[in-house]
Amino acid sequence: MKDSYEVIVVGAGPAGVAASLICRKRGYDVLLLDKKKREKIGDKVCGEAISKETVHEALEKLSIAPPKEEEINARIEDLVLRTASPKNHITLPAIGYMINRYKFGQRLLQEVIRSGVILKDQCRVKQPIIRDNKVTGVLIKDSEHNSIVILSKMVIDCSGTMAVIRTGLPQEYEPKLNKKITKADFAPCYREIIELNHDHDLEGKIVLQYETDIPEPGYIWFFADGKKRLNCGTGFIKEGKHAKKSVKSVYFNAIEKYYPKGTYKTIDGRGDVVPIRAPLWNAVGNGLIVAGDAAFHADPLTAEGHGPALMAGCFAGEVACNAIEKNSFKLEDLWKYNLLIMKEFGADHARSRILTMALEKIGPEKLEFLLKRKVIKQSDLTSAGIMKKKSFKDYLDRAVRCFPKYGLLLMMRKAISTSKAIAKHCETYPATPENYDVWKLKILDLYSQIT
């Protein structure tokens, strides 16, 4: 390992492998750092459901073959939102795979190493190095506990939920970049992979099952991972009245109703945290780009973050290389990254956050009522459906179905109109940093209308 590189990428998850591979392909020398042992990289607690479209698009950019048969556990077609009464559900198209995340992650890592990226495993990044208000490298602790400074022209923070670089920045560094991390940004989760004694009836489905006794967002997930296998889990924000609740106990209570003890064996059971807020509105600063979970790039409704992390890594790599070419690493040189993210998935995830906020507010009991009476329809949850103008007849029809709970109808209307306003506002994301503060105030104001 040298003491300086053109690019340092922190974290060898999907965002980090994509970012480092793009930079290497453009001819730069890249150091990829991860605290895990090389053979453990890619092993992460996950629902393991990935969207075909996003992942294929990113892999094409990286010239990497799509998931191979031995990496795919099952194919998925539908995302189902349902309540305790199985008749009440909404089904949305979700074409993709259940993958073996470890095998897939290891293949991506091999591609990165083969390309000439230098991987330093078992090395914990401690903090960014800042000089003249620019991120100029990182401080690491290696496996022999040596503290080492490594310098670079660009640092890409792909360190996952704890965002070691972003959160280690001093306050005076770029005020447009959010350096904080709060409890409300994450849901601690518990996830199991189980094998049933019998075939399940969820083939091709990923199910979000809303339950009254699970704290908001209020669901246990069941993802079909093979004929007998399910990937299941739950999670919630541990704040207020839920602060002391054990995620594991909530999970075991919920699963018992559907798959009682003795009807399955557990293959793997572990906890982790999942980011559940809207993406960082700005994810760049002088000499720094933040990608993947470190920038809240996962979908707040479904927690789907693998594909977005790959895409964000590709964009981060491209923008970092352009900056090195120009030898200019300022906020404005890297701003294009924000525009690429917003266009690719940022606006959709911003809308998705409104939807989760609305579902949290409505709660499972009332959601059951809305689904049963068909007040919420499938089209209310798709981008095209949200943006379509609703007729007066449609409103009247829903009002009749919603009787006598008109408060719920008003809340739903508010959520739909706010979602629309957010989608429109995202289209006006500023092309340069100058108008960003005003833009951000407006989007925060839109979110405050739902809280």
Ligand X SMILES: Cc1cc2nc3c(=O)[nH]c(=O)nc-3n(C[C@H](O)[C@H](O)[C@H](O)COP(=O)(O)OP(=O)(O)OC[C@H]3O[C@@H](n4cnc5c(N)ncnc54)[C@H](O)[C@@H]3O)c2cc1C
Query: Strand 30-33 to strand 4-10: parallel, antiparallel, or no bridges (unpaired)?
Result: parallel
Q: Is residue 49 within the footprint of ligand X (CB under 6 A)?
A: yes
Rounded CA-CA distance 349/220 in Å is 21
With contact defined as beta carbons under 8 Å apart, do 49 and 343 qualify? Answer: no
CB of 404 to ligand X, least distance (A): 39
Regarding 306 and contact with ligand X (CB under 6 A), the answer is: yes
Determine which residue in the list 4, 29, 36, 242 makes contact with ligand X, applying CB under 6 A: 36
- DSSP for 336-379 reads HHHHHHIIIIIHHHHHHHHHHHHHHHHHHHHHHHHHHTT-S-GG
Q: Which of 5, 13, 154, 214 binds ligand X (CB under 6 A)?
A: 13
Q: How far from the centroid of its chain's Cα atoms is residue 389's Cα?
A: 29
Interface region with ligand X, contact rule CB under 6 A, candidates 11-19, 175-183, 243-251, 401-409: 11-19
Q: For ligand X, which residue of 211, 225, 293, 380 counts as binding (CB under 6 A)? A: 293
Using CB under 6 A, pick the residue from 272, 330, 423, 447 that binds ligand X.
272
Residue 189 interacting with ligand X (CB under 6 A): yes
CA–CA distances in Å: residue 396 to residues 194, 388, 390, 391: 45, 17, 10, 9
300 near ligand X (CB under 6 A): no
| Piece in contact with ligand X (CB under 6 A), picked from 39-47, 174-182, 364-372, 387-395 | 39-47
Instruction: Give the shortest CB-393-to-ligand X separation in angstroms.
Output: 38
Residue 10 contacts ligand X per CB under 6 A: yes
In the complex with ligand X, the residue whose CB is nearer, 52 or 413, is 52
Could you say whether residue 233 binds ligand X (CB under 6 A)?
Answer: yes
35 binds ligand X (CB under 6 A): yes
Q: Does 125 bind ligand X (CB under 6 A)?
A: yes
Is residue 304 a contact point for ligand X (CB under 6 A)? Answer: yes
Site for ligand X, residues 195 to 214, rule: CB under 6 A: none
Residue 16 found at the interface with ligand X (CB under 6 A):
yes
| Contacting ligand X within 128-187 (CB under 6 A) | 158-160, 162, 164
Shortest reach from residue 273's CB to ligand X, in Å: 6
For residues 364 and 351, what is the distance between their CA atoms, to the nearest angstrom?
20
* C-beta separation of 76 from 97 below 8 A: yes
Dihedral of CA atoms 438, 444, 450, 451 in degrees, nearest 10, equals -140
Binding-site member from 22, 23, 32, 41 for ligand X (CB under 6 A): 41
Task: Label the pairing between strands 147-157 and 134-141.
Answer: antiparallel
Beginning with the edge strand found earlier in the chain, give each strand of the sheet holding 89-99 in spatial order. Answer: 49-51, 89-99, 72-82, 205-210, 219-224, 229-235, 186-196, 264-275
Residue 71 per-residue DSSP state: G
Q: Between residues 206 and 412, which has the closer beta carbon with respect to ligand X?
A: 206
Q: Does residue number 34 form part of the binding site for ligand X (CB under 6 A)?
A: yes
Both tokens of residue 142?
């290696």
Do strands 219-224 and 205-210 pair parallel, antiparallel, or not at all (unpaired)?
antiparallel
Which token pair is 6?
A: 């053109």
Please name the residue ranges forming H helices in 241-328: 247-258, 306-326
Give the total of residues touching ligand X (CB under 6 A). 41
Residues that bind ligand X (CB under 6 A): 10-16, 33-36, 41, 44-50, 124-125, 158-160, 162, 164, 189, 191, 233, 272, 274, 292-294, 298, 303-307, 309
